[in-house]
A and B are shown apart, each in its own frame.
Chain A
Amino acid sequence: GAGVSQSPSNKVTEKGKDVELRCDPISGHTALYWYRQSLGQGLEFLIYFQGNSAPDKSGLPSDRFSAERTGGSVSTLTIQRTQQEDSAVYLCASSLESGYDYGYTFGSGTRLTVV
């Protein structure tokens, strides 16, 4: 596709339920990043992929969070047993290669609300 696509755009879930967030990067971009942003705050790094491997998952807040990427393309971020503090906008970005020599292209994000 022409841009980074994220789905759903909005998700409301009950505390304790599991959620899956999807990111479809730009075709040919080997690096994929997940960030989250709480209301009025900066971006918090979660995890990034180079191809299907995740060299850095240091930002995942707890073992309730996991992510995978298949076929060097689509990635899913899974949050198990959601808590209210998980409410945030989850942003996905892709770039041609990993590293910071390339600009990132962001998706529009998934706004997650845990009630």
Chain B
Amino acid sequence: SQQGEEDPQALSIQEGENATMNCSYKTSINNLQWYRQNSGRGLVHLILIRSNEREKHSGRLRVTLDTSKKSSSLLITASRAADTASYFCATGDNTDKLIFGTGTRLQVFP
């Protein structure tokens, strides 16, 4: 079963614009993670935000977490064509594994 669901499913923007992706989840969590996937192969871990944190930054990435709304957002600032990929949120569901959302496909046009 899917714990997280991202929206939008797909997003197209121009280079230089900001991209915002949202993730909603169902159960209580210890943390939430974001991953990136190029070309349908291996995922790359981007950032982990703990349930007691509200915002976290890493380079051009900004992640927010609202546990009262069971939602998170990933903001990529000043996007580049190389940011084109699928982005997934992942949460633990009180078992020792991550459950991944359905993903947002981001297309950044030069």
Contact = CB atoms under 8 A, between A and B. Distances in A.
A108 B30 CA distance: 27
Nearest to B98: A100
A102 to B, nearest CB: 8
Interface string A79-99: 000000000010101000011
Nearest to B92: A100
Main secondary structure of the interface of B (DSSP, over half): strand
Contacts of B42: 4, 91, 106-109
Q: Which of A100, A101, A107, A108 has the most CB of B within 10 A?
A: A100
Nearest to A33: B97
Contacts of A42: 2, 88, 100-103
Contact of A41 (B41, B97, B102): B102
Interface stretch (A11-19, A48-56, A60-68, A69-77): A48-56
Contacts of A45: 97-100
Nearest to B93: A100
B97 A98 contact: yes
Q: Which of B88, B99, B101 has the most CB of A within 10 A?
A: B99
Given A42-B88, A42-B103, A109-B41, A103 B96 contact: no
B91 interface: yes
B41 A56 contact: no
B95 interface: yes
B44 interface: yes
Q: Which of B43, B45, B91 has the most CB of A within 10 A?
A: B43
Interface of B: 2, 30-31, 33, 35, 40-45, 48, 88, 90-92, 95-103
Given A42-B100, A43-B43, A56-B96, 9 more contacts: A43-B88, A45-B100, A50-B96, A89-B40, A100-B30, A103-B45, A106-B42, A107-B42, A109-B41
